[in-house]
């Protein structure tokens, strides 16, 4: 069995990756994704965990044709920066959409998907990706 | 703080060298720089390098390179800031001399990429990004820059062909550069129709993968005149960092670290952008070529492609930008690039640069690690 993916690391990051868990500053209210230990806005160390809505709009995107090792099966991969309702931006791949149907401003929502696998018998990484909302919700 | 001068320079041609490893490449550049100061001993070595560890399985690089460049035993260490390692090495070497700890310091940079398959090199380069939240998803460094390029084109309404003037100018400058990796000209049509890597970034928007090494000798005022007839002062240095997760930044269309680092460097050198004669900036991709000029205060946001099409920043203009051909065509031996840039600007000011020449007194070098995560700006004065 391959051990390229660390089990403790995958476990540690599961909530931000599976549930879009962020941190929120109890002092100034800023939300941070990925989660932080110290608020970069006010310096407070008093942070709490919060879950993001997962709904937002595409700020920018790329269709990556030349992909890295371990991602060949998914090529080409569309990556996007999405601004969520909360004002927080997240970078993730898009899923369930063709390159020609993507544009800046498209409404999307987060769904859980497979990202990569450590060989046939090793750990599988899962995380959120974004898929377009239905046509009638695009207004 | 004491004044610091560039008194010696040396570098290799950039390209594909199957017969030379990290040690041989670096020794070649170091020997040239030592010959440039008449063979005087240096007291310490700082080396910029990104991937000796991830690709070459070599850590402890400072000691290895000092030993094989014939400098064995002196204080030596590597500094790493991804593709900006070279600029940070110069910054560190400057600090060692300015502080008074040493009088004569060598700053080197070296990278060895071409003996590994592109997919392995691409992974190594992608480690400049956020391992847990960007690289995790398999996005390449090109992919990250493509997100910025699309936003730029959409925001300012710039067409593909309008973007393509940058690589055309860089290749034209490099065609006169004897040590450039890509010393040939290209057309707008060739750039706009080259292979898509990560839409909208195409092959000819991207800097090539290459090997190279560069070295500088820095000296205090007391030694500068003894070691060189044409010492060039390091008049200002600035270094700044930004969020590694690019989605965390408020504005994708500026690199805050460039703005911050350049403000510090301009203030320290007591100069304005309008006084700069020559610039070597970090155009790893076409989009960065434009944004860097905007962030450094040389042009207005979104207007740079049009200005370049009209002749601004070409040889003969002030500033002349990337007379070497830039990362795009001189080449980008990652951790060495920032050292090449300072060597090139120093040679321009002292009058012995071998390619497109700029007659001037003040020059600027900007080096970027990651997508604006670490930026150094170094201002030189004759
Ligand atoms: Zn706060």
User: Are B84 and B189 contained in the same domain?
Assistant: no
- Compute the distance from residue A50 Cα to the ligand 1 centre, in Å: 14
- Prediction pTM value: 0.97
pLDDT at B272 (0 to 100): 98
pLDDT band for position A134 (50/70/90)?
Answer: confident
Q: Which residues in chain B touch residue A116, judged by CB atoms under 8 angstroms apart?
A: 138
Asked if pLDDT for residue A136 goes beyond 90, the answer is: no
On whether any CB of chain A is under 8 Å from the CB of B245, the answer is yes
CATH 3.90.1410 fits A7-14+53-137, yes or no: no
Bridge partners, residue A50, by sequence: A22
Asked if pLDDT for residue A121 goes beyond 90, the answer is: no
- Compute the distance from residue A93 Cα to the ligand 1 centre, in Å: 29
User: Are B362 and B305 contained in the same domain?
Assistant: yes
On whether any CB of chain A is under 8 Å from the CB of B139, the answer is yes
Q: Would the CB atoms of B132 and A13 count as touching at under 8 Å?
A: yes
User: Are B199 and B271 contained in the same domain?
Assistant: yes
Asked if pLDDT for residue A2 goes beyond 70, the answer is: no
What are the structure tokens assigned to A109, written together? 């929502």
Can you list the alpha helix ranges (DSSP code H) found in chain B?
22-36, 61-68, 85-98, 118-126, 141-156, 160-163, 165-174, 188-192, 221-227, 256-269, 286-295, 304-309, 326-329, 334-350
Q: Which residues in chain A touch residue B134, judged by CB atoms under 8 angstroms apart?
A: 91
The set of residues, in sequence order, having a beta carbon less than 8 Å from that of B138 and lying 6+ positions away, is A67, A68, A70, A71, A74, A77, A93, A115, A116
pLDDT in tens, B313-335: 999 999 999 999 999 999 999 99
On whether any CB of chain A is under 8 Å from the CB of B157, the answer is no
Preceding amide of B201 cis, omega within 30: no
The residue whose two tokens read 């200005």 is B307
| A29 to chain B, closest Cα gap in Å | 16
Q: Give me the residues of chain B with pLDDT under 50, please.
A: none
Q: Would the CB atoms of B137 and A34 count as touching at under 8 Å?
A: no
- Of all residues in chain A, the one with the smallest CA distance to B127 is A68
Domain boundaries, position B43: 4-116+209-232
On whether any CB of chain A is under 8 Å from the CB of B243, the answer is yes
Domain ranges (residues) in chain A: 7-14+53-137
pLDDT at A1 (0 to 100): 54
User: Are B137 and B80 contained in the same domain?
Assistant: no
User: Are B43 and B110 contained in the same domain?
Assistant: yes
On whether any CB of chain A is under 8 Å from the CB of B128, the answer is no
pLDDT in tens, A35-85: 999 999 999 999 999 999 999 999 999 999 999 999 999 999 999 999 999
Q: Phi and psi of A50, rounded to 5°?
A: -145, 150
> What angle do the packed helices B286-295 and B165-174 form, to 10 degrees?
90
Domain count across chain B? 2
Q: Residue B292 burial by CB count (10 A; 0-12/13-18/19+): exposed, middle or buried? A: buried
User: Are B180 and B100 contained in the same domain?
Assistant: no
pLDDT at B224 (0 to 100): 98
CATH code for position B71? 3.40.47.10
User: Are B337 and B195 contained in the same domain?
Assistant: yes
Phi-psi region of B362 (alpha: psi -120 to 50; beta: other; left: phi over 0): beta
Which is nearest to B342 in space by CA: B255, B252, B225, B218? B218
User: Are B269 and B364 contained in the same domain?
Assistant: yes
On whether any CB of chain A is under 8 Å from the CB of B101, the answer is no
User: Are B77 and B178 contained in the same domain?
Assistant: no
- Catalytic site includes residue B332: yes
Q: Would the CB atoms of A66 and B142 count as touching at under 8 Å?
A: yes
User: Are B292 and B253 contained in the same domain?
Assistant: yes
The residue from B243, B282, B314, B332 that is catalytic is: B332
User: Are B110 and B154 contained in the same domain?
Assistant: no
| B139 to chain A, closest Cα gap in Å | 7
Nearest Cβ partner for A92 among B119, B137, B196: B137
User: Are B169 and B226 contained in the same domain?
Assistant: no
Which of B172, B199, B232 is at the close of a domain? B232
């Amino acid at each position: 069995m391959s051990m390229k993916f660390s089990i403790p690391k995958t476990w540690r990051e599961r909530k931000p990756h599976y549930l879009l868990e962020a941190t929120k500053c109890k002092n100034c209210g800023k939300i941070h994704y990925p989660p932080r230990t110290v608020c970069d806005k006010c310096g407070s160390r008093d942070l709490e965990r919060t879950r993001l809505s997962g709904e937002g709009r595409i700020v920018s995107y790329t269709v990556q044709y030349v992909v890295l090792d371990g991602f060949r099966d998914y090529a080409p991969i569309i990556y996007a920066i999405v601004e969520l309702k909360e004002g927080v931006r997240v970078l993730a791949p898009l899923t369930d959409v063709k390159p020609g149907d993507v544009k800046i401003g498209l409404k999307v929502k987060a769904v859980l998907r497979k990202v990569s696998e450590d060989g046939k018998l090793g750990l599988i990484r899962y995380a959120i990706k974004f898929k377009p909302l239905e046509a009638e919700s695009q207004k | 703080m004491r004044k610091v001068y560039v008194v010696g320079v040396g570098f290799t041609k950039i390209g594909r060298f199957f017969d030379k490893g990290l040690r041989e490449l670096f020794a070649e550049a170091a020997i040239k720089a030592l010959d440039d100061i008449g063979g005087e001993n240096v007291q310490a070595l700082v080396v910029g390098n990104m991937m000796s560890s991830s690709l070459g399985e070599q850590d402890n690089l400072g000691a290895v390179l000092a030993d094989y460049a014939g400098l064995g035993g002196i204080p030596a260490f590597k500094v790493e800031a991804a593709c900006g390692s070279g600029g940070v090495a110069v910054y560190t070497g400057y600090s060692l001399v300015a502080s008074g700890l040493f009088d004569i310091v060598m700053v080197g940079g070296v990278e060895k990429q071409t003996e590994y398959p592109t997919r392995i090199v691409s992974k190594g380069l992608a480690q400049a990004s956020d391992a847990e939240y960007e690289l995790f998803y398999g996005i390449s460094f090109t992919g990250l820059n493509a997100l910025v390029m699309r936003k730029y084109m959409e925001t300012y309404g710039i067409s593909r062909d309008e973007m393509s003037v940058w690589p055309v100018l860089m290749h034209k400058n490099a065609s006169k550069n004897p040590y450039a990796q890509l010393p040939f000209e290209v057309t707008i049509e060739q750039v706009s129709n080259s292979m898509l890597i990560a839409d909208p970034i195409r092959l000819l928007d991207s800097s090539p993968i290459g090997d190279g090494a560069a070295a500088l000798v820095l000296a205090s005022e007391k030694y500068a005149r003894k070691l060189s007839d044409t010492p060039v002062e390091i008049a200002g240095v600035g270094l700044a960092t930004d969020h590694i997760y690019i989605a965390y930044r408020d504005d994708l269309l500026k690199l805050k670290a460039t703005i911050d680092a350049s403000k510090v460097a301009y203030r320290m050198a007591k100069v304005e952008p309008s006084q700069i004669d020559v610039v070597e900036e970090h155009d790893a991709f076409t989009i960065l070529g434009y944004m860097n000029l905007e962030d450094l205060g040389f042009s207005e946001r979104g207007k740079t492609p049009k200005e370049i099409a009209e002749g601004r920043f070409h040889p003969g203009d002030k500033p002349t930008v990337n007379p070497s051909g830039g990362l795009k065509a001189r080449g980008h031996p990652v951790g060495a690039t920032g050292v090449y840039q300072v060597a090139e600007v120093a040679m321009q000011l002292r009058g012995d640069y071998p390619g497109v020449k700029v007659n001037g007194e003040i020059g600027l070098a900007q080096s970027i690690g990651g997508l604006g995560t670490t930026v150094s700006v170094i201002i030189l004065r004759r």
